[in-house]
Structure 1
Amino acid sequence: MTIRIVLICHGSTEALHRAAFPLDEELDDQGKRQVAARRGSMGDGAGRAVCGPSLRCRQTASGLGLAAEADEGLRDQDAGRWAGRALADVRAEDPDGVRAWLTDPAAAPSGGESLLALIERVAAWLDAPRDPGGGRLVAVTHAAVMRAAVVHALGTRPEMFWSLDVEPLSSVSLTGGNGRWRLRFPQTG
């Protein structure tokens, strides 16, 4: 059974501008404007929609005109005790921890979720059996979840996670199922 999953990154937030590990925060004014400008851009063929349980994902989905149900499998990477803090502050206090977080996929120095655990969780979500019904599932989620999905889909090394840039409201389409995925880069405009 083939399905297309369109992953969309939530809109802009204050934590993004501060280079901070986010808490459950709302979209900032810029994010709200960007989402409003894209409202209805998913077209009639949106199919079923889901979103991460965070406020920023729910606001993005709603702002895009999607009737999305929250899905725990799309939650952001758990930043543990670093949540809410700027990366620069954490680096000044715990440089070895930040270095481990960026270089060792199994490390979880914040007490949160390691990169390997994130990738495994997202892989399980992607590969879960689902009814292709409408053939398309739109999922509003986080940059980390999108990176993990691409790493899994390509079957590449976890360290490649850090080579992927995901901007607010960017999207990637994955087509396939049963553990076999192809990336599809949709046309714009």
Structure 2
Amino acid sequence: MTFNITGEFRIKIKQYSSCEPTMTHLLKFNVYLSRRSPTVLELKGNNTLLVPFDDSIISNINIAMKGSNGGWINNAEVYTMKRACSMSKFLLGKSWTSLSKAFKYDNNGECPIKPGVYVSSGFNLDDINDNGFPKQYFYGEYKFTIKYANDLNKMLGCQVIVVDILRPWET
């Protein structure tokens, strides 16, 4: 794929994992991708929150893009967002509600998410396209490394999401 073309897009999630699965984090994302049918990909597993996922948490997002040689170009974009819960809700748009229902968060689609173990029997990843992201972006493959920290900069959790940013008609 080339990266010099922008336009309206849809997101196709290719990989989802924890950054450091052996570490003892207070926010644990034990999820995996599962194919329900040839055309439907779901996010299953559990999120274990030992602390509330609220606006005291800071999100550090490092976006790497796939280079022309097949390697990752780190730090293509770097964001630090305070108020992790509210910003996640804003960026995910309507898909926040779908995700909250799929994981059975006890929050009525609002912030914060209380501590607990939340199990999903399947979140349809096509729903992620109903979001609050910018409406145009560069096409290509990206790796999002999202680290959550408290105000003392102690890491609470980490996840890696690899996505394709595709033209609306591409599969």
TM-score normalised to structure 2 length: 0.31
Task: Give 1 or 2: higher strand fraction.
Answer: 2
TM-score normalised to structure 1 length: 0.29
